[in-house]
Amino acid sequence: MKELMKKRKSRGFTLVELLIVIVIIGILAGSLLLVMGSGTDKANATKIVSDMRTLKAAALMYYADNDEWPITESPLNATGQLADYLDRTPSSTVATYGILVGTPASDDVSIEASGITETGVQGRLATMAESSGLYKSDLVNTYADGDTAAYMQVSR
């Protein structure tokens, strides 16, 4: 009788056991995907803010050397006036960057990140706006959830 029990146990897993394992793996994978999605949004928002700070520093160094603000078109390219002042070219699949020198209403200089269409990234930028210095195009109102462009003031 003991030999019969040993043979039966050594055959492998039952169908119920395999289904339970597959269901548990599916639940774990689903929860992992939810966590990874929000982490990706925060990483993209942090990259946008970091790129804007890099461009701000490069614009200030350019101004210190030349006594004028760089005149670059939007979107910013790697061969523009700031190329010598950048250690890396800001590149993001989430936003395009530009430098805005003067607006019809003022002589403000600002860094622009436009084309931010992912709602998760917009939400993360909105939570980071106050501490990061992100504004709307008027450079007065703080960036809010749902805005597709963020601005960082360089000079007034």
What is the pLDDT at residue 73?
Answer: 60
- Output the six-digit token pair for 38: 């929000």
Tracing tokens 């548990």 back to the chain, one arrives at: 24
What is the pLDDT at residue 104?
Answer: 47
Question: HEC states along 42-74?
Answer: HHHHHHHHHHHHHHHHHHHHHHHHHCCCCCCCC
What is the pLDDT at residue 106?
Answer: 64
pTM attached to this predicted model = 0.73
What is the pLDDT at residue 20?
Answer: 95
C-alpha triplet 45, 90, 72: angle, nearest 5°: 115
Listed as ranges, residues in the chain with pLDDT below 70 are 1-11, 37, 72-79, 103-106
Shortest CA distance to 98 belongs to which of 63, 144, 60, 59? 59
End-to-end Cα distance, the chain: 91
- Calculate the alpha carbon distances from 42 to 3, 48, 134 in Å: 59, 10, 15
**Domain spans of the chain?**
15-155
Shortest CA distance to 145 belongs to which of 69, 127, 155? 127
What is the pLDDT at residue 66?
Answer: 87
Provide the β-strand partners of residue 153. 110
